[in-house]
Structure 1
């Protein structure tokens, strides 16, 4: 029986399915694997089911390699050096598709919460500081009819755009490095700055790491309208966090909604101090049926590798 390492606690259905077929070691800890721990795991296990925070960087692949597959739990895999893995003979997969709708729903949650100041209002009520309804109290941004700008028109970007277009009558603009044709009204622009300048609400859905690191920098944020709202449901490293903090503190933009952060679970104190930021603890796929589907997809890739078949979701 092959040895399988699962690096975080998964839904019980996933654990039962894994244990029915493999000799499973469950690492029930909130922290991800360090590079040294990742290297040791690659030497000790036939297969690994890792996730965000497990540091399978280039240096993790320099020693003895027993592992044949890293079946990542999650669509994002910027914590894995795929080139180094492949050079070491380790296949890598992820879990797309099953995360699309849930992540897009969190995007809408952040759009609405930030524009309508829901987090600020909830804190006001909980602190017993609400003095009653007033015509000019806590005026926010009306969402219906505003122009949304999508950074990265992949599965999740399109799902957000559809919700905005069909649900809120929002004109859709998008920036994508390659030409993209979609089945609903949307305008592709030629540059990120054009998008940041033209939209009222920006939603980032690109993969993290690589060329996308700090893609949303001070120049991109400076192009936004002062009434603009910025939402990130991608990866934290896509955004230059100090530049975003500066833009928020100095009212260069109206607000931000963030589900991801550059050094999770560390969240800069400056974000917590700002009332015009909605902060979520990476809830993008946090629904039991979604997480169970992700776990099963990861297991399906391990089984495919075990049986000598091509990985269904190879990256």
Structure 2
């Protein structure tokens, strides 16, 4: 089975695939060029792609032998699912593998923005830090503040668990409400979107990209937020 891999992947992954298949891999970190993608997928039976690859009708049409599309990641909006289904090509993804990592990143961004870590780091690296002053890079507390979570799925709940360690008040808005037991365990309260935006000191996004969530946050929503609030986006 001939497989096209559109990005460099860990050696462990590559070795596993090569046990049973002949592979062709894009060896650069930058996304594969469109022309190389179309040329490379011809005659392939398997395609391992990433979020940066647009797998649309054009790609599917030049690869009639394709039997499987394996997405290296969770989100799959870059793949024409309907087109693949019509051709009998299964599409796989990796739900759950990035839950804790993404939650770590989201909370790291909460801390970094509140405490102005990037600004201070830049000042030091530029050799401009000369003295401490009471108001120099004075940030905001995270402990005890209100965290608004938009999208309380796997990642949203993982962020909520981290927030508990900082004694944060948790409010959330989500398509599906948590069970009473989960709400009690997380200390989270379901609220309308407008309430979350108005009351939260930090708003963190954890929703998939769908027609319903596209442009979820626009000028109207930003105007509802506190002037002192922070918006963290680790979703699409």
Q: How does the TM-score come out when normalised to structure 1?
A: 0.69
SS of equivalent to 2:100: helix
The structural deviation recorded for 1:41 is 4.9
* Distance verdict in 2 for CA 1:62–1:215, change over 3 Å: farther
* Distance verdict in 2 for CA 1:46–1:76, change over 3 Å: same
1:258-297 alignment, distance < 5 Å:
none
The structural deviation recorded for 1:57 is 2.5
Aligned counterparts of 1:101 and 1:83: Cα–Cα separation in 2: 30
* Distance verdict in 2 for CA 1:121–1:227, change over 3 Å: same
Query: Do the aligned residues in 2 keep the contact of 1:38 with 1:55 (CA within 8 Å)?
Result: no
**Partner of residue 196, structure 1:** 197
The structural deviation recorded for 1:110 is 0.4
> Gaps (5+ residues) in structure 2?
none
* Distance verdict in 2 for CA 1:189–1:59, change over 3 Å: farther
Query: Do the aligned residues in 2 keep the contact of 1:172 with 1:187 (CA within 8 Å)?
Result: yes
Q: Please provide the CA RMSD for this pair.
A: 1.8
Aligned counterparts of 1:125 and 1:86: Cα–Cα separation in 2: 53
Which stretches of structure 1, 4 residues or longer, exceed 6 Å deviation after superposition?
Answer: none
**Partner of residue 16, structure 1:** 15
Query: Do the aligned residues in 2 keep the contact of 1:7 with 1:33 (CA within 8 Å)?
Result: no
Aligned counterparts of 1:64 and 1:134: Cα–Cα separation in 2: 63
**Partner of residue 175, structure 1:** 173
1:1-315 alignment, distance < 5 Å:
2-29=1-28, 30-32=30-32, 34=34, 38-165=37-164, 167-181=165-179, 182=182, 183-190=185-192, 192-235=193-236
SS of equivalent to 1:65: coil
Report the structure number with the largest CA radius of gyration: 2
**Partner of residue 291, structure 1:** none
The structural deviation recorded for 1:133 is 1.4
Aligned counterparts of 1:17 and 1:61: Cα–Cα separation in 2: 25
> Gaps (5+ residues) in structure 1?
236-315
Aligned counterparts of 1:68 and 1:18: Cα–Cα separation in 2: 15
Deviations 1:4-43 (A, max 9, x none): 1111111111111111111111111321453x65555554
Aligned counterparts of 1:89 and 1:38: Cα–Cα separation in 2: 21
* Distance verdict in 2 for CA 1:136–1:65, change over 3 Å: same
SS of equivalent to 2:186: coil
* Distance verdict in 2 for CA 1:95–1:63, change over 3 Å: same
Query: Do the aligned residues in 1 keep the contact of 2:44 with 2:63 (CA within 8 Å)?
Result: no
* Distance verdict in 2 for CA 1:38–1:180, change over 3 Å: farther
Q: How does the TM-score come out when normalised to structure 2?
A: 0.91
* Distance verdict in 2 for CA 1:33–1:151, change over 3 Å: farther
Query: Do the aligned residues in 1 keep the contact of 2:6 with 2:37 (CA within 8 Å)?
Result: no
